[in-house]
Amino acid sequence: MELNNIKPATGAKHAKRRVGRGIGSGLGKTAGRGHKGQKSRSGGYHKVGFEGGQMPLQRRLPKRGFKSAQLKYNAEITLADLEVLAVGEVDMLTLKQAGLVGQLAKVVKVIKTGELTKKVVLKGIGATAGAKAVIEAAGGSVA
């Protein structure tokens, strides 16, 4: 192989479509734009969602809902997750290393789903009232 022999792979390159270059090209006269109308004119087009002056769909439908950007920083784990984790002291770092909460999480709360039999001490992690009762009943604490 020599530098002067290198070619692109077959089919990797293809000639640009040259429109408006006479009858023989197959794209002469109207240059593939059809006859008349807004789309045939130069500079004649419209913005996305434009419906010819009719009230566009996105404006006919009611505005609804809101999703807070802060949600990605909140996480929740269940009592069943704590049972499987099998660690005496649970903090944010432990949960992130175990993959139970995302790396972006800043606030974690334990919810009452599943059973807990082991003693667990929570540090810097919240818990719902029901979850807190179950944790304390198992001999653990929420700090």
Q: Which CATH number is associated with domain 69-142?
A: 3.100.10.10
The position carrying tokens 């009611």 is 62
Show me where the domains of the chain are located. Answer: 17-65, 69-142
Give the tens place of pLDDT for each residue, 5-42: 999 999 999 999 999 999 999 999 999 999 999 999 99
Give the tens place of pLDDT for each residue, 122-133: 999 999 999 999
Residue 54 clears pLDDT 90, i.e. is over it: yes
Distances, alpha carbon 59 to alpha carbons 25, 67, 96, in Å: 44, 20, 43
Q: What is the pLDDT of residue 74?
A: 95
Give the tens place of pLDDT for each residue, 76-93: 999 999 999 878 899 999
